[in-house]
Amino acid sequence: MSSDIPQSLLPQSDAGEMVVISPGHFLALPRPDILTGPPAGAPDTSTVAAHDFDVDNSTGFMPPQPPLARLPPLWEAWELALEDGLAAKLQLADKPDQSDTDRNRARHWQARVRELPVLPVTQLKESEVLLRRGHLVLTWMLHLYIRTLPLDLPELRIPPPLSIPLLQISSHLQLPPVLTYSDTVLYNWALIKHVPLTIASPAPALDNLRCNTLFTGTRDEAEFYLSSARIELRGVQALSLMRAMMDEAFVGDAIAIQRITSYLHALAGVIGELTKLMLDVREGCDPNVFFNDIRPWFRGADSDSPRRPWIFEGLESDPSLKEPTELSGPNAGQSAVIHALDIFLGADRYSHASHVTGHGRSSSASASSSPSSTSSPSSSSTPSPLADKPKPSVSFLARMQVYMPRHHRAFLRHLSADPRPIRNLVTESSDTSLKEAYNAAISALKVFRDAHVRIVAIYIVGPGKKGARPQEEQKGTGGTSAITFVKSVRDQIQGALLPDVEA
């Protein structure tokens, strides 16, 4: 048995006796490298310790302490450039009735970015925290730069002082060189009041969060990101229930089945709370402000209509750099806690089905690939390979895992490799109460997806029909049809319900 597994994490019988685990059991297998994963055909046993997946027992996929708010002095030029660009209140290039002053202000800031030195990232690689901050600063700067460029440019060129360090950092983090959910939500918060965390209150209060970085500086934008942050924090209880059920599943006796039944009902309740938190975004974020003033800033390359390629200049200076193939921008589909719910309940076979793409662009990148380095090196004069071309069908949600922090992707792989899936346990059981509890959890998940459909209708479809950007009505982040996609996922979840059982 693996000597580095604490006894408290090993399954026990109801009498408290240690359950004997065979040498071939997944808990007894050695841990593979966290970056490369397990050998082909082997379950992912990276760890049974949540912190190895960068998942905290109190804050889940969010860091347990407020994330780093500023890089060390060596990279102060990046911080200042972003800070000044946001303070200048630059206007979106497609905003109507821009003044000459607005355009000159944008040109001046863009020139400043082009004149920055190409700063080294070697020392950043010594710390995951520094790398995350570097990715956040440079991707916010990237979107600020891209979205203020003139509309008549056939391609959007990103200068070497920005493109080179961003691609280097992204390659090391195994993330796309574009804003992600982690840059806008997971690592973009601070405490309003510095209340010490205690054993009794180990996580920040949901109403004690603020955003560090905003394009518009508005409450609407802050509330949009914070609504997701609150879902992440409340989702910790769901993760705790999943862990408890997995422990009980290894025991599998009658008492364990009773406990799993109770935990499934509790999980349904937590998912209900997540649904309310999602809908609460309406209290602080105006749909028209979101659609016209906020959303355009963080759209990725494949959300543009017409599409203009993003050209990362300077790739020829570093042979290790490769043209990115994933530039979708952030969205809630990149939340690991939502994926974890699907996977744990066995609903991912429906929500992550290959045809659930929102009939947008399919990508050749898979959830296990390195998104910033999936094609051959290219010179700065070669257009990005994001041009429309036939590619293998990959579900939208599977593709969005590419945009998650790599440790969170490892967690989802680990969860997917559970040798005793809850859905299998339920379907193989003759216990009607267990099946009803499972269906209750699936039904709650469907209600959550119903709420997502409502939010997309309110914040994208409605404003798109009457707003200044009607071409965006159908385009969601990631090149999908937003409303078609969320409806498709909602309808697919229905298929996870067990037949002939009352929910």
- Provide the annotated binding site for heme b: 452
Structure tokens at 269: 């309740």
Torsion of CA 279, 494, 427, 255, to 10 degrees: 20
Measured distance CA(343)–CA(349) in Å, rounded: 8
- List binding-site positions: 452
How would you label 48-79 residue by residue, b for 16+ Cβ within 10 Å and e otherwise? beeeebbbbeebbbbbeebbbeebeeebebbb
Contact 261, 433 (CB under 8 A): yes
Judge residue 101's burial from the number of C-beta atoms within 10 Å of its C-beta, 0-12 exposed, 13-18 middle, 19 or more buried: exposed
Secondary structure, 3-state, 267-278: HHHHHHHHHHHH
> Element (H or E) spanning 158, and its range?
strand 156-158
The C-alpha angle with vertex 156 and arms to 96 and 215, in degrees rounded to 5, equals 55
* H helices present in 88-159, as ranges: 100-114, 128-146
Q: If DSSP codes are grouped into helix, strand and coil, which group holds residue 475?
A: strand
Amino acid at 467: G
Measured distance CA(90)–CA(466) in Å, rounded: 24
Terminal-to-terminal C-alpha distance of the chain? 40
What is the pairing mode between strands 156-158 and 310-312? parallel
Instruction: Give the HSE-up count for residue 243: Cα atoms under 13 Å, Cβ half-sphere.
Output: 17
Contact 251, 19 (CB under 8 A): yes
The C-alpha angle with vertex 222 and arms to 301 and 183, in degrees rounded to 5, equals 45
Instruction: Give the HSE-up count for residue 304: Cα atoms under 13 Å, Cβ half-sphere.
Output: 21
Contact 489, 357 (CB under 8 A): no
